[in-house]
Amino acid sequence: MTAKRVHIKIFDTTLRDGEQSPGCTMNQQEKLRLAVQLDRLGVDVIEAGFPIASDGDFESVKAIAIAVRRPIIAALARACQPDIERAWEALKHAAQPRIHIVLATSDIHLKYKLRITRDQCVEQARKSVRFAKSLCDDVEFSSEDATRTDPDFLCHVLDAVVEVGATTLNIADTVGYTVPAEFGDLITTIRQQVKGIENVTVSAHCHNDLGLAVANALAAVAAGARQVECTINGIGERAGNASLEEIVMAMRVRPDQYAYETGIVGDQIFAASQMLSEITGVPVQPNKAIIGRNAFAHEAGIHQDGVLKNPLTYEIMTPQSVGVPDSTLVLGKHSGRHALSIRCEQLGYQFDRSGLDDIYRRFLRLADNIKHVEDHHLFELIARQSGRL
């Protein structure tokens, strides 16, 4: 009998942390439209915004809280009463509201940004979570810059917020500083040392400054984190956040390494990616894993021949599993006869060996001068080969 896989909650922060990416701001209608798609996608938590930041963000969170009923709807607040009150005012009509409190804990943030002592940090964390808990049953506490925080002090802060009712502890690699083994060890330490940890969810929020956000998030999950915070297309401040689609598909493609499951509806991934790109006007880089234009595109002749014979030769997942219509064979100077022959047949033309060789020679000469050979180029080559031009 197959053992039941552990469920990992997907906390999507595209509408909050993702929106903080330069050029990615969204208005209320756009946020609501994307929130509906995130609901279709099956995320467990939608972080809808930061209500104290502006009237527009407040109204967006409120509209999403009213309209989107299945997932938990979270709103961010700093560890102070006005922020928390504003977050609750926006969230109070949600079916499943969550107040998300953030407070920095690293010495560099305490000294230079907040200008408070460690003792003051602990008291502020405790006081803010206690107040939030008086308004809302579900309270998440995020330790900002946790990966540059003294581990013993971090556990002391987490002890304090669990004692007053925090239900989720988010360990934030705010500046993308950590590496997978180190982050996994930190999660293990927290699970071993924090009192009452068995009654709360440990979460991981990773940034991509060293290109390790997804690897760090997966290391956290392997060490016992049961929620990951991520964004569509990996958008976010600076180099971005851990990419939702990469985390989810790593688990699905490698269940031998990651014995976990999520509630994500795979065939909605590409639609969410495309919608975000259309709303923000920020294109997805072509070589982006899972949803980039080249993720299921093949130009090299050896690869094309393999994929035509069996897609598993060069594709570790099907395009349809993430909502991409199909693989594409890109015709260029690296393409082989097999791919050219298949494309010609798809356009309605079949050639014997000699005719295909002639077309292929013409094709290579053209491909040496242009990046991609499109269908209209092929029609011209076919016309020349048949003597019509």
CA distances from 61 to 27, 173, 295, 373 (A): 11, 25, 34, 47
| 8 A C-beta contact, residue 283 and residue 242 | no
| DSSP string for residues in 191-240 | HHHSTTGGGSEEEEEEB-TTS-HHHHHHHHHHTT--EEEEBGGG--STT-
* Beta-sheet strands, E only, within the chain: 6-7, 9-12, 45-49, 72-78, 97-104, 139-144, 168-173, 201-206, 227-230, 260-261, 297-298, 328-329
Q: List the one residue out of 301, 295, 285, 294 whose CA is nearest residue 318.
A: 295
pLDDT digits (tens, 9 = 90+) for 137-169: 999 999 999 999 999 999 999 999 999 999 999
Local confidence band at 330 (pLDDT 50, 70, 90 cut-offs): low
Residue 1 in this model has a pLDDT that exceeds 50: no
Local confidence band at 389 (pLDDT 50, 70, 90 cut-offs): very low
% of the chain exceeding 70 in pLDDT:
92
Structural domains of the chain ordered from first start: 6-280 (3.20.20.70), 297-385 (1.10.238)
Q: Which two tokens stand for residue 77?
A: 């607040």
d(CA 198, CA 291): 36
Local confidence band at 365 (pLDDT 50, 70, 90 cut-offs): confident
Local confidence band at 325 (pLDDT 50, 70, 90 cut-offs): low
Indicate the burial class of 80 (C-beta count within 10 angstroms; 0-12, 13-18, 19 or more). middle
In this predicted structure, what is the pLDDT of residue 185?
98
pLDDT digits (tens, 9 = 90+) for 42-72: 999 999 999 999 999 999 999 999 999 999 9
Q: List the one residue out of 354, 381, 352, 353 whose CA is nearest residue 369.
A: 381
Indicate the burial class of 334 (C-beta count within 10 angstroms; 0-12, 13-18, 19 or more). middle
d(CA 76, CA 99): 6
164 secondary structure, DSSP code:
T
The per-residue pLDDT of the chain, averaged, comes to 91
Residue 208 in this model has a pLDDT that exceeds 90: yes
Residue 263 in this model has a pLDDT that exceeds 90: yes
In this predicted structure, what is the pLDDT of residue 329?
61
In this predicted structure, what is the pLDDT of residue 388?
47
